[in-house]
Homo-oligomer: A and B are copies of this chain.
Amino acid sequence: MKSGVAPGSSDPLDPGRRATIREVAEAAGVSRSTASRALTGRGYVAQPVRERVREAARTLGYVPDAMARHLRQQASQSIGVLVSDLSNPFYARLASSISQQARKRQYTMMLVDDGGSPGVEVEAAEAFVALRVAGVIVTPVSAEVSSYLTRQRIPVVEVDRQFAAGACDAVIVDNENAARGVTARLLALGHRRIALVIDEMHWTTGRDRLAGYQAAFAAARVPLDPSLIVSAGWDVSAAQHEAHKLLGGSEPPTAVFAANNVLAEAVWRAAAELGIGIPEQLSLVSFDDVPWMSMVRPGVTAVAQDAVALGEAAISQLFDRIQSPAAPVRTVMLSLTVSERESTAPPPA
| Chain A interfacial positions (CB closer than 8 Å to B) | 13-14, 18, 61, 63-68, 70-71, 76, 78, 85-87, 89, 92-93, 95-96, 99-100, 103, 108-113, 115, 120, 123-124, 126-127, 129-132, 151-153, 265, 268-269, 272, 291-292, 295-297
Question: Which B residues touch A71, using CB under 8 A?
Answer: 65, 67-68, 71
Choose from B13, B14, B100, B113 the contact partner of A96 (Cβ within 8 Å): B113
CB distance B103 to A112 under 8 Å? yes
Please name the residue on chain B nearest to A93 by beta carbon.
B87
- A130 with B66: in contact, given A113-B100, A292-B292 (CB under 8 Å)? yes
Choose from B268, B269, B291 the contact partner of A265 (Cβ within 8 Å): B291
Q: Bound state CA distance, A276 and B65, in angstroms? A: 58
Q: Bound state CA distance, A63 and B129, in angstroms? A: 7
CB distance B86 to A103 under 8 Å? no
**CB<8 Å pairs between A and B, sample of 24:** A14-B151, A18-B152, A18-B153, A64-B130, A65-B130, A65-B132, A66-B131, A66-B132, A67-B68, A67-B71, A68-B71, A85-B96, A86-B86, A86-B95, A89-B89, A95-B111, A103-B123, A110-B110, A110-B111, A291-B292, A292-B292, A295-B295, A296-B297, A297-B297
Question: Which B residues touch A131, using CB under 8 A?
Answer: 66-67, 78, 108
Question: Which B residues touch A64, using CB under 8 A?
Answer: 130
How many identical chains are in the complex? 2
Please name the residue on chain B nearest to A120 by beta carbon.
B103
Please name the residue on chain B nearest to A236 by beta carbon.
B291
Question: Which B residues touch A129, using CB under 8 A?
Answer: 63
- How near does chain B come to A182, taking the closest CB pair, in angstroms? 21
Known interface pairs A87-B96, A96-B113, A99-B112; 18 further A-B residue pairs with C-beta atoms within 8 A, sorted by A's residue number: A18-B153, A61-B151, A63-B126, A63-B152, A66-B130, A67-B70, A67-B131, A71-B71, A78-B131, A86-B86, A100-B115, A103-B112, A103-B123, A268-B295, A272-B297, A291-B292, A292-B292, A296-B296
CB distance A86 to B67 under 8 Å? no
Choose from B13, B89, B108, B295 the contact partner of A87 (Cβ within 8 Å): B89
- How near does chain B come to A288, taking the closest CB pair, in angstroms? 14
Q: Bound state CA distance, A124 and B104, in angstroms? A: 11
Question: Which B residues touch A292, using CB under 8 A?
Answer: 291-292, 295-296
Q: Bound state CA distance, A265 and B295, in angstroms? A: 8
Question: Which B residues touch A126, using CB under 8 A?
Answer: 63
Question: Which B residues touch A63, using CB under 8 A?
Answer: 126, 129-130, 152
Q: Bound state CA distance, A212 and B269, in angstroms? A: 34
Question: Which B residues touch A85, using CB under 8 A?
Answer: 96
CB distance B86 to A76 under 8 Å? no
Of A65, A92, A124, A152, most buried by chain B (CB within 10 Å of CB) is A92
Q: Bound state CA distance, A155 and B13, in angstroms? A: 16
